């Protein structure tokens, strides 16, 4: 199984140990105690340096060689002060993520913005799933249509601080605000960064077998999800695992700016990252594609066995949308593959492409969708939702009007 902790009560919560701190200063700083102690000591020493230099200068006569070192020493102090200010800025104010979540800045973001939103969905006595949401996952069936979105970091809201701004949560709000859909739908989100269709297959099967009243699973597919189906996946995963390793040198391991700078240079020098989108294109022309279709058919069959609809929603890569978007043919290939498998599908690329002149990503170093992109996605999903609510037939999907035809059995 790929994609991190899949079915375990440890799950995502292990990533956020600081979320449970009760010390007063941790309620707003969210920095390790060791970092605060070392930084406090360093600031005292740094503040004392000018006074010590001036005092030493007064004691030395003008001909002393040490006196001639005072200007360079003062220049060094100014450089160290500037670097310290930048470090504090990254530690306290630079509140964002990176695409692979390898930097301490990104780790702090997850602690601040995700830890308190994690909830446990228990599958059994010793297994379950931590998920991010502002409401509990409903486990008691009712008359409403329950649509459960399953996916990776795009679905999780990686880089979106307020979970209410994530597309599934915005969709939930829109449905409750509209008179024709209010009270008819339940929207849930089971997702985890770094996962793939293998992980989704396990989650969907676990939830379906519990008979918790899910009427439709929507697999939110990002184009790189096919990665796990490629024979070279293990090698690339090993390269990325090596990239995530932080050196033991404290200035890189325990800081925020220097740690960020180190990983930025490492990412630029790593072939698996530099040529990543070239790899993704190759997946759709190699053995990964038929393997992916087989796995997609397996998930579809699981849903049919439990009388649950299964739909695929396709996210584009957001950083290079526009007239020359290089993955448009692959989007059509995915649509054709879903139609062949009789799986309803919705491509988000046309809706998002209309806003390609706007900033749709979290930041220049994180190509995950931001709040604007998720708002566009929520609008697109809302427009495809029918009213009155969906019927109970499995094919074609009654809750999503498709952008490509689906052949019913």
Angstrom distances, CA of residue 106 to CA of 28, 113, 149, 155: 16, 10, 25, 18
Least confident of 59-73, 90-104, 195-209, 214-228: 59-73
Residue 62 reports pLDDT greater than 90: no
What is the pLDDT, as a whole number, of residue 63? 60
Residue that has been written with the tokens 């695992």 in this structure: 241
Residue that has been written with the tokens 């040490």 in this structure: 66
Average pLDDT, the chain: 85
Chain centroid to CA 302: 26
Residues in CB range of 131: below 8 A, 6 or more apart? 12, 118, 119, 121, 137, 189, 190, 191, 192
Mean pLDDT score, 192-212: 94
* Percent of the chain surpassing pLDDT 90: 62
State whether residue 260 is helix, strand or coil.
Answer: helix
Mean pLDDT score, 368-391: 81
Residue 366 reports pLDDT greater than 50: yes
Mean pLDDT score, 333-339: 95
DSSP secondary structure, 130-163, as one string: EEE-SSPPP-S--SSEEEEEEESHHHHTTT-SSG
Q: What is the pLDDT of residues 105-154, one digit of tens each?
A: 999 999 999 988 999 999 988 888 999 999 999 998 889 999 999 999 99
Q: What is the pLDDT of residues 278-311, one digit of tens each?
A: 778 889 999 999 999 999 999 999 999 999 999 9
* Percent of the chain surpassing pLDDT 70: 83
């Amino acid at each position: 199984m790929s994609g991190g902790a899949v079915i375990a009560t440890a799950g995502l919560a292990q990533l956020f140990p600081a979320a449970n701190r009760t010390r007063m200063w941790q309620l707003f700083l969210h920095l390790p105690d060791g970092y605060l102690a070392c930084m406090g000591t360093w600031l005292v020493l740094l503040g004392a340096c000018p006074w010590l230099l001036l005092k030493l200068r007064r004691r030395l006569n003008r001909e002393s060689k040490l006196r001639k070192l005072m200007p360079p020493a003062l220049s060094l102090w100014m450089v160290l002060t500037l670097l310290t200010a930048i470090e504090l800025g990254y530690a306290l104010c630079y509140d964002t993520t990176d695409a692979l979540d390898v930097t301490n800045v990104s780790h702090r973001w997850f602690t601040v913005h995700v830890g308190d939103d994690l909830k446990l969905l228990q599958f059994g006595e010793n297994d379950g799933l931590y998920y991010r949401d502002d409401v509990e996952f409903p486990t008691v069936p009712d008359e409403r249509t329950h649509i459960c979105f399953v996916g990776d970091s795009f679905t999780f809201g990686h880089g979106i601080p307020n979970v209410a701004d994530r597309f599934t949560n915005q969709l939930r709000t829109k449905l409750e605000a509209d008179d024709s859909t209010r009270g008819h739908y339940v929207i849930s989100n089971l997702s985890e960064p770094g996962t793939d269709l293998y992980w989704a297959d396990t989650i969907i099967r676990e939830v379906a077998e519990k008979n918790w009243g899910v009427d439709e699973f929507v697999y939110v597919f990002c184009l790189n999800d096919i990665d796990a189906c490629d024979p070279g996946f293990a090698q690339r995963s090993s390269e990325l695992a090596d990239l995530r390793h932080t050196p033991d040198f404290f200035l890189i391991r325990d800081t925020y700016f220097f740690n960020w700078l180190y990983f930025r240079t490492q990412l630029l020098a790593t072939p698996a990252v530099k040529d990543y989108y070239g790899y993704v294109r190759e997946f759709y022309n190699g053995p990964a594609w038929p393997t992916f279709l087989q796995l997609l058919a397996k998930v579809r069959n699981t849903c049919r066995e439990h009388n649950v609809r299964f739909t695929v929603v396709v996210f584009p890569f957001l950083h290079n949308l526009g007239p020359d978007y290089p993955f448009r043919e692959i989007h059509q290939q995915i649509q054709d593959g879903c139609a062949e498998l009789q799986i309803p599908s919705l491509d988000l690329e046309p809706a998002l492409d209309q806003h390609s002149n706007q900033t749709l990503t979290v930041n220049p170093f994180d190509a995950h969708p931001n709040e604007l992109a998720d708002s566009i996605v929520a609008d697109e999903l809302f427009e495809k939702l029918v009213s009155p609510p969906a019927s109970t037939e499995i094919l074609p999907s009654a809750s999503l009007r498709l952008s490509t035809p689906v052949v019913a059995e």
